[in-house]
């Protein structure tokens, strides 16, 4: 089955599943309330904060190669090894080499979108390496044999009762739907994993160039334990995650927390500047940073797409998107869902099988209006559509439809004729269309704007 057919089938299925939609809407409306309040209480001027964040990220884009080199130089000086991975295969190879060198049989991993991108869990399974997710949401989807549903809240689609049932089946825990009890079950299950794992794998929310530091933000403390308890720490990080200075965190940490989860700042924020140093009591003995390109450099060279590299993966555009809210995260079948995923997936994986995602948008621009770093996401979706069209990937019906539309719109007479025909079809078919349970057909006024205007002009 092609990705396009799969997408259409899943969209139909999920958009008609009322229980699923109610769960998602409930989760997102709680998020909306918290974010709206936080924007007012935490920022004197939210728009100004977005503008400033965008300026910093534009500076990063203008100086990306030198900032990355500076980061490498600084963190290497403190004993970390930086590896540059051109693509998924190279990142996987680096990981397997490190795992072999340290005879690793068990890996504990915190939440990271780059590991989803390189299919890290599948890689471990294929190579007989035990991998345990330490983030609660990730653990839930791992136990359920699913992929993350959302880039920030991977188990958003699961109710507490479903999670209780899952824990009972897979961990042998007593069944409960109490949030605190569920958290304690996961905690009990995970605690011993940190000290029995050979490698801890994390991502990073930011890398700070001048300081040579990784920054991780989280709410459970699992990321901190994942990187510090096992003897080896591997961070797999996209090359776009750069910030120039440590002081930039004073804006980016609250910005990410507000847009991501409606918090002032996340519960745990770690700044990691290398492996355990002489005289220090804890931290990993070895630290590797795999800087992942995987299509980012190509995006960087396309001037019109460069802005998407400013993304801080807050997930706000997913929550705002009426399409995501209707069809849900799994329908996209990619690590990055929603508007941001619909921009980068066709770019990373090719228009051939993924161009349809760029069309999964009404272009309402809700995504762009909430993006904390001011990315015009809907414009980039249009750019994708244009690229797909240029590459001949838009298909017969789309191309023909556009040709007809352009033919009609280029003549006043043809537009009037089509408008009259539209009125007739509307009157004839309205009784059938109105029976639809899921759609309300908008009323078309009896007189068109042109007729009203003509009348108006005759009166004056
Ligand atoms: S595109 Fe903007 S809103 Fe969407 S995840 Fe990235 S930073 Fe957040």
242-258 pLDDT, tens per residue?
Answer: 999 999 999 999 999 99
Q: How confident is the model over 294-306, as a mean pLDDT?
A: 94
The rounded Å distance from CA 324 to ligand 1 centre is: 14
The rounded Å distance from CA 40 to ligand 1 centre is: 19
d(CA 8, CA 14): 10
Tens digit of each residue's pLDDT (9 = 90 or more) over 200-217: 999 999 999 999 999 999
Give the least confident one: 71-75, 318-322, 429-433.
Answer: 429-433
Phi, psi dihedrals of residue 271, rounded to the nearest 5°? -115, 115
Contact 294, 304 (CB under 8 A): no
d(CA 199, CA 202): 10
Query: Measuring from each residue's beta carbon to the nearest atom of ligand 1, which residues come in under 6 Å?
Result: 259, 311-317, 340, 370-373, 375, 377
Tens digit of each residue's pLDDT (9 = 90 or more) over 146-167: 999 999 999 999 999 999 999 9
Contact 129, 99 (CB under 8 A): yes
Sheet holding 130-133, edge to edge: 81-85, 286-292, 232-238, 199-202, 106-109, 130-133
- Most ligand 1 atoms within 8 A of CB, residue of 205, 317, 336, 369 to mutate: 317
d(CA 227, CA 109): 9
Ligand 1 atom 7 nearest Cα: 311
Ligand 1 atom 4 nearest Cα: 317
Residue 218 CA neighbour count, 13 Å, CB half: 23
Question: Taking 90 as the threshold, does the pLDDT of residue 431 lie above it?
Answer: no
Question: Taking 90 as the threshold, does the pLDDT of residue 421 lie above it?
Answer: no
Label residue 1 by pLDDT band (50, 70, 90). Answer: confident
Question: Taking 70 as the threshold, does the pLDDT of residue 219 lie above it?
Answer: yes
The rounded Å distance from CA 309 to ligand 1 centre is: 10
The whole-number pLDDT of residue 11 equals 95
Tens digit of each residue's pLDDT (9 = 90 or more) over 22-61: 999 999 999 999 999 999 999 999 999 999 999 999 999 9
Q: How far apart are the first and last CA of the chain?
A: 62
- Most ligand 1 atoms within 8 A of CB, residue of 57, 296, 311 to mutate: 311
Tens digit of each residue's pLDDT (9 = 90 or more) over 116-146: 999 999 999 999 999 999 999 999 999 999 9
- pLDDT mean across residues, the chain: 94
The whole-number pLDDT of residue 426 equals 80
What 155-161 contacts at long range (C-beta under 8 Å, 24+ apart), as own/partner pairs, is: 156/23, 156/24, 156/27, 156/329, 157/20, 157/23, 157/24, 157/328, 157/329, 157/330, 159/23
The whole-number pLDDT of residue 58 equals 97
**17-28: burial string, b at 16+ Cβ within 10 Å, e else:** eeebbebbeebb
Q: How confident is the model over 371-381, as a mean pLDDT?
A: 97
Label residue 305 by pLDDT band (50, 70, 90). Answer: very high
The whole-number pLDDT of residue 438 equals 64
Contact 103, 97 (CB under 8 A): no
Ligand 1 atom 3 nearest Cα: 371
The full DSSP string for 307-337 is GGGG-----HHHHH-HHHHHH-SGGG-SSS-
Ligand 1 atom nearest to 315, measured from its CA: 5
d(CA 390, CA 114): 30
The whole-number pLDDT of residue 447 equals 81
User: DSSP class of residue 12?
Assistant: H
The whole-number pLDDT of residue 2 equals 92
Contact 237, 214 (CB under 8 A): yes
The rounded Å distance from CA 313 to ligand 1 centre is: 5
d(CA 125, CA 19): 33
The full DSSP string for 284-311 is -SEEEEEEE-TTHHHHHHSGGGGGGGG-
The rounded Å distance from CA 9 to ligand 1 centre is: 27
The rounded Å distance from CA 310 to ligand 1 centre is: 8
Question: Taking 70 as the threshold, does the pLDDT of residue 434 lie above it?
Answer: no
The rounded Å distance from CA 316 to ligand 1 centre is: 6
Question: Taking 70 as the threshold, does the pLDDT of residue 435 lie above it?
Answer: no
Cα–Cα–Cα angle for 327, 332, 333, rounded to 5 degrees: 135
Ligand 1 atom nearest to 313, measured from its CA: 5
d(CA 140, CA 165): 11
The rounded Å distance from CA 84 to ligand 1 centre is: 25
What is the pairing mode between strands 286-292 and 232-238? parallel
Q: In the chain, what percentage of residues exceed pLDDT 70?
A: 98
**323-349: burial string, b at 16+ Cβ within 10 Å, e else:** bbbbbbbbbbbbbbbbbbbbbbbbbbe
d(CA 363, CA 378): 6
Question: Taking 70 as the threshold, does the pLDDT of residue 439 lie above it?
Answer: no
Q: How confident is the model over 338-362, as a mean pLDDT?
A: 95
- Estimate to the nearest angstrom the gap between the alpha carbon of 44 and the chain centroid: 27
Question: Taking 70 as the threshold, does the pLDDT of residue 437 lie above it?
Answer: no
The full DSSP string for 234-292 is EEEEETT-EES-GGGHHHHHHHHHHHHHS-SS-SEEEEE-SSPPTT--SS-SEEEEEEE
- Most ligand 1 atoms within 8 A of CB, residue of 53, 255, 312, 334 to mutate: 312
Tens digit of each residue's pLDDT (9 = 90 or more) over 225-235: 999 999 999 99
The whole-number pLDDT of residue 451 equals 83
The whole-number pLDDT of residue 275 equals 97
């Amino acid at each position: 089955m092609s990705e396009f057919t799969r997408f259409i089938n899943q969209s139909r299925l999920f958009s008609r599943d009322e229980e699923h939609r109610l769960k998602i809407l409930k989760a997102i409306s709680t998020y909306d309330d918290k974010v709206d309040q936080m924007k007012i209480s935490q920022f004197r001027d939210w728009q100004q904060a977005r503008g400033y964040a965008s300026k910093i990220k534009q500076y990063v884009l203008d100086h990306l190669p030198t900032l990355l080199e500076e980061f490498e130089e600084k963190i290497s000086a403190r004993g970390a090894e930086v590896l540059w991975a051109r693509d998924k295969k190279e990142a996987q190879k680096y990981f397997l080499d490190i795992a072999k060198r340290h005879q690793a049989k068990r890996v504990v991993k915190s939440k990271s979108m780059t590991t989803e991108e390189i299919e890290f869990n599948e890689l471990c399974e294929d190579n007989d390496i035990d991998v345990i997710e330490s983030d609660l949401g990730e653990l839930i989807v791992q136990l359920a044999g699913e992929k993350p549903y959302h880039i920030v809240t991977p188990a958003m689609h699961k109710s507490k009762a479903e999670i209780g049932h899952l824990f009972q089946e897979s961990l042998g825990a007593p069944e409960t739907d109490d949030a605190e009890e569920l958290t304690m079950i996961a905690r009990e299950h995970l605690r011993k994993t940190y000290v029995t794992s050979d490698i801890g794998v994390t991502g990073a929310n930011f890398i700070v160039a001048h300081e040579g530091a990784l920054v991780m933000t989280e709410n459970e403390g699992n990321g901190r334990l994942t990187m510090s308890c096992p003897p080896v720490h591997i961070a797999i990080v996209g090359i776009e995650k750069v910030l120039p200075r440590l002081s930039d965190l004073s804006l980016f940490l609250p910005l990410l927390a507000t847009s991501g989860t409606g918090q002032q700042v996340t519960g745990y924020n770690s700044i990691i500047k290398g492996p355990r140093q002489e005289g220090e009591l804890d931290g990993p003995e070895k630290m590797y940073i795999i800087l992942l390109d995987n299509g980012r450099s190509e995006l960087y060279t396309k001037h019109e797409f460069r802005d998407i590299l400013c993304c801080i993966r807050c997930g706000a555009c997913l929550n705002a998107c009426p399409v995501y809210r209707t069809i849900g995260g799994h329908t996209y079948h990619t690590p990055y869902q929603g508007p941001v995923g619909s921009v980068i997936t066709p770019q990373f994986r090719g228009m051939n099988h993924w161009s349809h995602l760029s069309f999964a948008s009404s272009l309402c621009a809700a995504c762009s209006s909430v993006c904390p770093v001011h990315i015009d996401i809907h414009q980039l979706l249009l750019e994708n559509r244009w690229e797909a069209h240029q590459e001949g990937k838009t298909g017969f019906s789309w191309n023909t439809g556009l040709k007809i539309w352009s033919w009609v719109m280029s003549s006043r007479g043809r537009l009037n004729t089509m408008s009259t025909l539209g009125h007739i079809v509307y009157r004839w078919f309205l009784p059938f269309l109105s029976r639809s349970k899921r759609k309300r057909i908008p009323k078309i006024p009896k007189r068109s704007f042109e007729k009203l205007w003509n009348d108006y002009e005759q009166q004056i």
